Amino acid sequence: MSASVKSLLSTLTSRGPHRVLRGNLAIAGQPGVVFTPESGLSLPAVAFGHGWLTGASKYRQLMEHLASWGFVVAAPDTERGPIPSHLDLATDLLTTLDICTGVRLGDGDISVHPDRLALAGHAMGAGAAVLAASRRRVAAVAALFPAPTAPSAESAAPDIDSPALILASASGLESLSSNAIPLASAWGGTSILRTVDGASGNGLVEGRRTFGALGAGKHEKKTTRATQALLTGYLLHTLVGDKTYEAFADPEAHIPHSTVVDPDAPREEEDKPKISLGTVASLLRK
């Protein structure tokens, strides 16, 4: 473990150097929000998909963090009901990218480079981001604690040659509510599967959640900080080309508070898998 990676990780857990502005995507015809640095031309952009029974507002801290590091981050605020369409959310993510590249943001002094685009998401939003990436090539994909979708993201993954970062919970890696292993195994391009120490799949969601009392999970500050740092470092290298953060896109690199997982390594099958709320939702959609 190099001291430089430790130092970079520590730096990336803090906000970046840019003042952050917030905007409304609805002005351009797509319900949602956008966060940008105060100014900048040819910036990298990330379209972010939310999880089940949440919305864009539940990821404000994550989006503001990325914007403070120089990214335009936009999130559609659609498909928030109990039986969402993952394909429609994927379409909205692509529409969001179109808005970012086709419209001057802020007061006209913010623009996005069409070759510096990423699709990202949490839980079902991660699956929607993968489905979107199968329809349009982007520079990178980030699936944060991915959950099963219909159609399955892993069925689309073999056709995607964009690099991918897949983050998961070590404790939930083998659960029915996570498809991180099959997704990483099926990925057509280069993928990195990392587990985040002490994280749960729902730890990124801010504020109160519907069904929280039934075990849907609470916001975890440590999970958010670790995820923000890993994601920011990965995107700074893959989208911006900053070699300082090369380790964050290196499957051989050891980064504190995370562990690289080989998705094709043999594993023991669990005798009694637990059924989560996400799985129930998936069954409802069928």
pLDDT digits (tens, 9 = 90+) for 9-46: 999 999 999 999 999 999 889 999 999 999 999 999 99
Sheet holding 20-24, edge to edge: 20-24, 32-37, 72-76, 40-49, 110-122, 140-144, 164-169, 191-196, 258-260
pLDDT digits (tens, 9 = 90+) for 224-271: 999 999 999 999 999 999 999 999 999 999 999 999 999 988 866 544
Question: Which of 124, 123, 96 shows the shortest CA–CA distance to 204?
Answer: 123
Strand blocks (E) in 6-156: 20-24, 32-37, 40-49, 72-76, 110-122, 140-144
Rounded average pLDDT over 187-195: 97
- The overall average pLDDT reported for the chain is 89
Q: Are strands 72-76 and 110-122 parallel, antiparallel or unpaired?
A: unpaired
Helix (H) or strand (E) holding 166: strand 164-169
Q: What is the rounded CA–CA span in Å between residue 274 and residue 177?
A: 9
Q: What is the rounded CA–CA span in Å between residue 10 and residue 23?
A: 29
Percentage of the chain surpassing pLDDT 70? 88
Q: What burial class does residue 207 get, using C-beta atoms within 10 Å of its C-beta: 0-12 exposed, 13-18 middle, 19+ buried?
A: exposed
Give the range among 45-59, 176-190, 235-249, 264-278 with minimum mean pLDDT.
264-278
pLDDT digits (tens, 9 = 90+) for 115-163: 999 999 999 999 999 999 999 999 999 999 999 999 999 999 999 999 9
Q: Which residue is listed with tokens 């292993």?
A: 181
Q: How confident is the model at residue 277 (pLDDT cuts 50, 70, 90)?
A: very low
Do 191 and 163 meet the contact criterion of CB atoms below 8 Å apart? yes
Q: What is the pLDDT of residue 213?
A: 44
252: CB partners within 8 A, 6+ apart: 260
User: 269 to each of 173, 238, 259, how far by Cα in Å?
Assistant: 12, 35, 21
Do 185 and 264 meet the contact criterion of CB atoms below 8 Å apart? yes
Backbone angles phi, psi at 202, to 5 degrees: -100, 5
Please give the tally of structural domains in the chain: 1
Q: Give the domain CATH number at 112.
A: 3.40.50.1820
- Expressed as residue numbers, the domain containing 156 is 3-284
Q: How confident is the model at residue 175 (pLDDT cuts 50, 70, 90)?
A: confident
